[in-house]
């Protein structure tokens, strides 16, 4: 813009303009990044669950507790699935250790819940599945919490069994395998929280439906988009379309 002045003649005036974001990310690419973030979060939660399941399977055949007989100082080891052949152990007890049976049942239920959750995650990775539904995160979160609750009850019942049976004749000391199961239970809870937060985030930010790719209509010669026919004249014959076009030309004149 040029501004006239009495002394210097024509002076150019710079008009400030607002900056334009020429490098803005397309909506389709942004949606792709969001989907990748959901996928990576889901994979991280599944990795925690898989690691916890591996720890449980590895520590289940080991001894969880060590008994020390107060009379002669004899040391005995026992676990959830470990059998002890001494007369003071659980297998030779006069009363059946029913707490131990409940602990074993809850341990099996916990593993089954976690295997089901991991199977759902693995099935969603197949290419034929297409878009993964947000309900998958909710299902995995529920299974993680169910597995964590079952494992928590299993460990508490095992603790009650040890204290109930050994409080008069033996001293007990829990081994590192028992505490690793508590760490696995914490990881189950963390995996459930991650899956639940992923589900809430997906619900609060649903995928943009306008980003759907629509194939362009091409003409027979492939020189660009073909002629678009209005919906009002889509079901009419060619003669009726010509009459309508003539009427529109007369009205325009």
Q: Confirm whether pTM is higher than 0.85.
A: no
Q: Give residue 111's pLDDT band: very low, low, confident or very high (50, 70, 90).
A: very high
CATH of domain 66-209: 1.20.140.150
Q: Give residue 219's pLDDT band: very low, low, confident or very high (50, 70, 90).
A: very low
Q: Are strands 170-174 and 75-78 parallel, antiparallel or unpaired?
A: unpaired
Q: Give residue 19's pLDDT band: very low, low, confident or very high (50, 70, 90).
A: low
Per-residue model confidence (pLDDT) at position 33: 74
| Distance set, CA 5 to CA 9, 13, 16, 68 (Å) | 5, 12, 21, 105
Q: Mean pLDDT across the chain, nearest whole number?
A: 75
Per-residue model confidence (pLDDT) at position 15: 54
Taking the C-alpha atoms of residue 253 and residue 153, their distance in angstroms, rounded to an integer, is 86
Taking the C-alpha atoms of residue 198 and residue 42, their distance in angstroms, rounded to an integer, is 7
Give the model confidence (pLDDT) of 198-213 as tens digits: 888 877 665 555 544 4
Label residue 59 exposed, middle or buried (CB < 10 Å: 0-12, 13-18, 19+). Answer: buried
Query: In this predicted structure, which of 36-40, 118-122, 178-182, 231-235 has the lowest mean pLDDT?
Result: 231-235
Q: Delimit the domains of the chain by residue range.
A: 66-209
Encoded tokens for 77: 């080891």
Encoded tokens for 112: 């089954």
Taking residue 30's Cβ as centre, other Cβ atoms within 10 Å add up to 13
Is residue 196 within 8 A of residue 82, CB to CB? The reply is no
Encoded tokens for 238: 């060619």
């Amino acid at each position: 813009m040029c501004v006239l002045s009495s002394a210097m003649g024509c002076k150019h005036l710079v008009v400030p303009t607002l900056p334009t974001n020429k490098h803005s990310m397309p909506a389709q690419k942004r949606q792709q990044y969001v989907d990748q973030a959901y996928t990576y979060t889901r994979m991280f939660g599944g990795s925690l669950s898989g690691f916890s399941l591996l720890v449980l399977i590895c520590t289940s055949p080991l001894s969880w507790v060590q008994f020390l007989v107060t009379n002669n100082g004899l040391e005995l080891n026992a676990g959830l699935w470990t059998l002890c052949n001494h007369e003071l152990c659980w297998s030779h007890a006069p009363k059946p250790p029913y707490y131990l049976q409940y602990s074993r049942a809850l341990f099996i239920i916990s593993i089954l819940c976690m295997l089901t959750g991991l199977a759902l995650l693995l099935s969603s990775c197949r290419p034929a599945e297409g878009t993964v539904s947000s309900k998958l995160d909710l299902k995995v979160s529920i299974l993680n919490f169910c597995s964590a609750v079952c494992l928590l009850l299993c460990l508490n019942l095992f603790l009650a069994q040890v204290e109930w049976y050994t409080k008069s004749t033996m001293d007990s000391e829990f081994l590192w395998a028992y505490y690793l199961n508590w760490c696995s239970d914490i990881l189950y809870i963390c995996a459930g929280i991650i899956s639940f937060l992923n589900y809430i985030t997906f619900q609060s930010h649903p995928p943009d439906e306008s980003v759907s790719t629509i194939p362009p209509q091409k003409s027979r010669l492939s020189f660009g988009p073909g002629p678009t026919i209005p919906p009002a004249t889509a079901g009419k014959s060619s003669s009726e379309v010509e009459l309508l076009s003539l009427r529109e030309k007369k009205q325009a004149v």
